[in-house]
Amino acid sequence: MSKPAFETARRIAESIIITAVSSAGLYLVGTVYSDAYYDRLSIEVTSLDLARPYEALQSVHALWGLLEYPLILLLFYVLYRTLALPARRLGTWLAQTRRRFPRLLSILANVVVVAPLLLDALASFREQELPHRSVLTEVHSVFGHAGLVLPGYVVWLGWSQRRFLVSEVRARKQVPIALEFFLYLLSALASTGVVAELAAVELLTGASNASLRVEFVTKPGVLP
């Protein structure tokens, strides 16, 4: 197989894999939402026999959880491009730090990139001590323990290899992409579980538009 044909086949295979993984991830997010929602209502979700398209559509409730991390990274990038210009004080400081402490700068940059995921993992690590066992608590448990691996990896990458995590992802290195995507997916699952529980609480307390309100009116001439 010639090199252009191999490159084309590789790109097609990557597109298929990305589509399959994204679809499976969205379906998993919807499943976690349904399980957390009905579990808060004390209803066994498996007894409802929900259709797969219905569960997949529940991933819509997790849009903010899916967009939160990319939007934070975009904000960091805009701030960096704005404040790190050579003419600004921060740009001069970064240039000096890069010459004097190249390892320290790479470690700080990597930690900043994964900081939102680390904060979510820390919160999930606390939530894993809940007494009942459900899909959401399992997600919190896995997310909390997996979050312990990410700091060690980014510190090793910056100190030993003197590489930036963003550069590794742009170079399509499998290990950083898989690790960051896995934690990103777990973060979205934990977020959608919390949203589901809040929606169930609103339904139970009557704050939701889907709540039913029953009023009892006494008949005229009859004692209450």
42 falls within a domain:
no
User: pLDDT (tens digit, 9 = 90+) per residue, 202-224?
Assistant: 877 877 776 677 777 888 877 76
Q: What domain range is 69 assigned to? A: 62-205
Model pLDDT, residue 125: 65
* Residue 130 to residue 105: CA distance in whole angstroms: 38
138 falls within a domain:
yes
Q: Cα–Cα distances in Å, from 36 out to 48, 137, 200? A: 14, 9, 9
81 falls within a domain:
yes
4 falls within a domain:
no
Model pLDDT, residue 200: 82
* Residue 96 to residue 82: CA distance in whole angstroms: 18
Inform me whether the pLDDT recorded for 162 exceeds 70: yes
* Residue 27 to residue 33: CA distance in whole angstroms: 10
Model pLDDT, residue 132: 54
pLDDT band at 94 (very low <50, low <70, confident <90, very high): low
Q: Say which amino acid occupies 27.
A: Y
pLDDT band at 128 (very low <50, low <70, confident <90, very high): low
Q: How many domains does the chain have?
A: 1
20 falls within a domain:
no
12 falls within a domain:
no
Inform me whether the pLDDT recorded for 137 exceeds 80: no
pLDDT band at 85 (very low <50, low <70, confident <90, very high): low
224 falls within a domain:
no
Q: How far from chain centre, in Å, is Cα 194?
A: 12
Rama region for 42: left / alpha / beta (φ>0; ψ in -120 to 50; rest): left
User: pLDDT (tens digit, 9 = 90+) per residue, 24-64?
Assistant: 777 777 788 888 888 887 887 777 777 777 777 777 766 77
User: pLDDT (tens digit, 9 = 90+) per residue, 175-186?
Assistant: 888 888 888 888
Q: Quick one: average pLDDT of 132-139? A: 70
Residue with tokens 């995507």: 181
pTM of the model: 0.69
pLDDT band at 129 (very low <50, low <70, confident <90, very high): low
pLDDT band at 157 (very low <50, low <70, confident <90, very high): confident
pLDDT band at 95 (very low <50, low <70, confident <90, very high): low
Model pLDDT, residue 165: 79
